[in-house]
Structure 1
Amino acid sequence: MTTKSINERKTAPYRFDNVGSFLRPLRLKEARDAFAKDTISEGELKSVEDEAIEELIEKQKEIGLKAITDGEFRRSWWHLDFMWGLEGVEKVEVDEGYQFAEVETRAESARLTGKLGGSGHPFIDHFKFVNRFADDEIIARQTIPAPAQFLAELQRPDNKEATDQFYPDEGALLEDIAAAYRTFIKELYEAGCRNLQLDDCTWGMIVDEDYWKNMAGDFTVEDLSLKYVEVNNKAIEGAPEDLVITTHVCRGNYRSTWASSGAYDTVADILFGEENVEGYYLEFDTERAGGFESLSKVSGDKVVVLGLISSKVPRLEDKEEIKARIEEAAKYIDKDRLCISPQCGFASTEEGNNLTEKEQWDKLQLVKEVAEEVWGK
């Protein structure tokens, strides 16, 4: 991939970029609640979603984003809705939600009901709606959870019995996860998609020391890293050359709280050296992500999008401090291979983070200004 200036780049990642999700407007939240209570129809909910997404896309264009998304407005979760749309998967309530630093999430999950498949996924139509607004200068991006994230969900204690029932051999499970994703990617590409982003919290999970305190069994960081990179690579194997596939690595983003801490160092060789993506959107907004030294392990000409602006807090970062951090990162990877974005989306779940829509757009305006000042207009 050839790196270019902010306005010359024709493929993602872009110098000024965004991870994907946006705060849901109040009327959308109210419509989803009404639909859950059976007081409006599915068609009425879709009309509200369509209108809200059209307005969001216009705002994304106005601020200058080159990759537009639907803000994940049709989802409740950044990951589970995609999993529920796969064949052989059902939505379930579980005993406990995901544990974050200051709060526990809703207790929902995805559980197997049979063998996996990836055809006819509802996200295909979701993408087609967004793609109507793309043009020669602006692409429609699709975000989905990484295959490794799906594997981790199926192997949660609440789900393991069902997973083992249908896949007593883990190797077969990895093969079928990858095959389901390949089917989805093929259909997504046929629908016009040329930019797919795999969102992945598994790496942030396994670098956290507290995670290992709760692990049952004899595993190592390397064991899980190799398993996760294997299923991710199998899933994107054979993808069309003009489909740009990137990944976003996160440490949790729920109501402005976080789930894990730890530097990239222990997974850098495998994540940055062996995962066959074209770019990484990396969380770097707090000390919980460690330093930039591991960026020296990013192989080939892969691009790194530095998530230096927090989507969790309303306070605007100091522009000069952000520019200084880019220079620090450039000690370990060529600055021509760097871009900038918020560290995560603004609403990984429909609850959203604790800032206003205006503050959300102010954050993106700051990202744009920094990108222009560092790499030029």
Structure 2
Amino acid sequence: MSLSVPPFRADVVGSYLRPHYLHDARRQFAAGQLTQKQLTDVEDQAITELVARQKAAGLQVITDGEFRRSWWHLDFMWGINGVEKSEIEQGYLFAQIETRPESIRLTGKISGEQHPFLAHFRFLMQFAEQGIVPRLTIPAPAQFLKELQRPCNLEQTQAIYPNEADLLDDIVQTYQTFIEELYALGCRNLQLDDCTWGMLTDPKIAAKASTPKEATCGCGDSHDFDHAQSIASLTEKLLQVNNRALASAPADLILTTHVCRGNYRSTWAASGGYAPIADVLFAKENVSAFYLEFDTDRSGDFSPLALVPQDKQVVLGLVSSKTGELEDKDEVIARIHEAAQYVPLGNLCLSTQCGFASTEEGNELTDTQQWQKIALVREVAEQVWG
């Protein structure tokens, strides 16, 4: 059984490995050897070729591979009015590596009009055709909030927004403005990528998120916080900022979310099953589908999926984008049927576990292996759903 609207039985998260000539062009641009127009021309060529390959692979959804971005999330945030790029002392810490030390910094009140990603999507729209849906991927409002409230950013954020409620209101309005302008261009499938929930699956990271340093008491004094209460307060805040931002979206705009535990050069940042967040995220977030990582034991079992409402879909990320080793088809099929104990098979789809290049560096696999993974997703989906 195929689906005519996203998510599709055979789906992908959205980012792809950049071709070598695009890496070269970006280096030349950074060195001042190419103009912005020349870089854009190279990006246009790479995206045009990528779209052709996605269609040839039999995918029903196309993305621009995030080829115009350096990061899956920061580039979008840099495009918001009132935000600038910043260099910080330490990058994100992954299991085996540290990322580039880049983040965001507020320069004033934020707003979402005339975002540069509109032009990115306008270019992709020319490739739409019957049965092919252009998709845009952006970081969720909760992800933006957490970036603004990282310890390295918190002082400047509070200088612009002394009252957190005002910050939340402006994040909501910023996203609503962007979604309205994006919809006007013809977008009917928006994916919200969200590591905030993925990080909270990890008990160690969740514990840090509930410390006085991270909790938003506001007075600056030390307190004896109740861990469970502070986590509940945090998850409710993340849920509300996401739901409020999506509340005014048109009914025919398909909104989905991808929950990630970190994806940088084939390594990861968090480990843990979905149980700690399932009763909030799965049960209450107002999206039509959840793209979830289930490629390793780090993701836990399928039992938390029992909390997904019956009118929503789950896209099982069972095919890893972190390694070139191809999964066994029969094992993937068996795991789909195992998940069907908690979510009806008709509400399940299959995808790669994450993007192949959440940052421009890309994961440690070859271009050929990337497309073999996608072919496997297609083959399994056809066998399971017909």
Q: TM-score, normalised by structure 1?
A: 0.97
Matching residue of 1:254: 264
* SS of match in other structure, 2:10: coil
Which of 234, 248, 258 is 2:244 aligned to? 234
**Aligned residues of 2:25 and 2:39 also touching (Cα < 8 A):** yes
Which of 158, 162, 167 is 1:168 aligned to? 162
Q: Work out the CA distance in 1 between the residues paired with 2:261 and 2:207.
A: 17
Matching residue of 2:15: 21
Matching residue of 1:373: 383
Matching residue of 1:223: 233
Structure 2 gap ranges (5+): 213-224
Runs of 4+ residues over 4 Å off in structure 1: none
1:49-81 Cα distance to aligned partner (Å, 9 max, x none) = 000000000000000111100000000000000
Matching residue of 1:51: 45
1:91-117 Cα distance to aligned partner (Å, 9 max, x none) = 000010000000000000011111010
Q: Work out the CA distance in 2 between the residues paired with 1:327 and 1:372.
A: 14
**Aligned residues of 1:262 and 1:288 also touching (Cα < 8 A):** yes
Structure 1 range deviating more: 222-231 or 332-341: 222-231
Matching residue of 1:277: 287
**Aligned residues of 1:221 and 1:267 also touching (Cα < 8 A):** no
Q: What letter corresponds to residue 116 of structure 1 in structure 2? A: I
How far the C-alpha of 1:300 sits from its partner, in A, is: 3.7
**Aligned residues of 1:252 and 1:259 also touching (Cα < 8 A):** yes
Q: What letter corresponds to residue 354 of structure 2 in structure 1? A: C
Q: Work out the CA distance in 2 between the residues paired with 1:316 and 1:366.
A: 8
Matching residue of 1:330: 340
Q: Work out the CA distance in 2 between the residues paired with 1:223 and 1:285.
A: 30
RMSD over aligned CA atoms reads 0.8
Q: How many residues align?
A: 370
**Aligned residues of 1:257 and 1:312 also touching (Cα < 8 A):** yes
Q: Work out the CA distance in 2 between the residues paired with 1:345 and 1:361.
A: 12
Q: TM-score, normalised by structure 2?
A: 0.95
Q: Work out the CA distance in 2 between the residues paired with 1:245 and 1:300.
A: 16
Matching residue of 2:303: 293
How far the C-alpha of 1:168 sits from its partner, in A, is: 1.1
How far the C-alpha of 1:213 sits from its partner, in A, is: 4.5
Which of 161, 172, 181 is 1:178 aligned to? 172
Q: What letter corresponds to residue 275 of structure 1 in structure 2? A: E
The answer on 1:339 being equivalent to 2:333 is no
The answer on 1:85 being equivalent to 2:85 is no
Which of 183, 186, 191 is 1:192 aligned to? 186
Matching residue of 2:57: 63
**Aligned residues of 1:198 and 1:246 also touching (Cα < 8 A):** yes
Matching residue of 1:203: 197
**Aligned residues of 2:199 and 2:206 also touching (Cα < 8 A):** no
Q: What letter corresponds to residue 88 of structure 1 in structure 2? A: G
1:279-337 Cα distance to aligned partner (Å, 9 max, x none) = 00000001111000011100141010000000000000000000000010000010000
Q: Work out the CA distance in 1 between the residues paired with 2:206 and 2:250.
A: 37
Q: Work out the CA distance in 2 between the residues paired with 1:314 and 1:300.
A: 34
1:160-180 Cα distance to aligned partner (Å, 9 max, x none) = 011101111111111110110
**Aligned residues of 1:207 and 1:221 also touching (Cα < 8 A):** no
Structure 1 gap ranges (5+): none
**Aligned residues of 2:316 and 2:351 also touching (Cα < 8 A):** yes
Q: Work out the CA distance in 1 between the residues paired with 2:260 and 2:361.
A: 18
Identity level (%): 58
Q: Work out the CA distance in 2 between the residues paired with 1:214 and 1:137.
A: 45
1:2-31 Cα distance to aligned partner (Å, 9 max, x none) = xxx22xx11100000000000000000000
Matching residue of 2:140: 146
**Aligned residues of 1:221 and 1:266 also touching (Cα < 8 A):** no
Matching residue of 1:349: 359
Matching residue of 2:129: 135
Matching residue of 2:326: 316
